[in-house]
Amino acid sequence: MDPPHRSALITGAARRIGAAIAERLHDAGYNVVVHCRRSTEAAQALCERLDAARPGSARVLSMDLAQVGDLDDFVRRAAAFWGGLDVLVNNASAFYPTTVGQTSETEWDGLQDANLKAPYFLCQAALPWLRLRRGCIVNITDIHAMRGLPGYSAYSVSKAGLVALTQCLAKELAPELRVNAVAPGAILWPERPVGDDEKASILARVPLRRPGCPDDIAKAVLYLVRDADYVTGQVLAVDGGRSLFS
């Protein structure tokens, strides 16, 4: 059983996969800081549900993580809720198409800032707090970090960088801290419209022939946080077997 008052900061946790991670860690006894940028109402509603189950166990922090100069204060506020920080989950992410030959610098920068720069500097800001608790970091990457997604080159590059960051930090921060990643496959469809034919084409390349669900990712994160004491520098694909094929 985890000691009381262990705390986790999950970025992009108001909705979708991030919310599932927050709920799963909370169910396992962790207090959670639910970060959001704009989805304040959803984040607050999630925290109210979690607090109803265990009073005083969930808090909301809103911030644009691209403002790296404010990250030290952001982490300090998160740690202040329960006197420290045990877990950082870098889940917040941007996803949109970038066609080679038509990609603007603004589109490139937006993806790198959200998916790589912010996690790097957030890890750096959280490091002193995590070291005090011998905590851990889990980054949410993507199976397309290793096998680029056509039409989404800048996104794939940003997630590949997050894989490299995971491995570099695992080496550099050991033995005090563990750093791992989870690479989702077809878990949730993009928020843009996706037709039935496109869905069928994607699932035809998934050996399990079905999409996963956000809790599949959340359970993998919980494993890496709570049960993987001898695991660091790894990228756990949760993709129904999709990454077995090119």
Which tokens go with 231?
């695991």
Cα Rg, the chain, nearest whole Å: 17
164: Cβ contacts below 8 Å, ≥ 6 apart: none
117: Cβ contacts below 8 Å, ≥ 6 apart: 66, 68
Amino acid (1-letter code) at residue 142:
D
Mark 18-41 as b/e (b = at least 16 C-beta within 10 Å). Answer: bbbbbbbbbebebbbbbbbbebee
Cis peptide before 214 (omega within 30 of 0): no
E strands along 121-232, which residues? 136-140, 178-184
CB atoms within 10 A of CB 217: 26
DSSP 12: T
What SS3 string covers 101-148? CCCCHHHHHHHHHHHHHHHHHHHHHHHHHHHHHCCEEEEECCHHHCCC
Amino acid (1-letter code) at residue 54:
R
Amino acid (1-letter code) at residue 92:
A
Cite the active site residues.
155
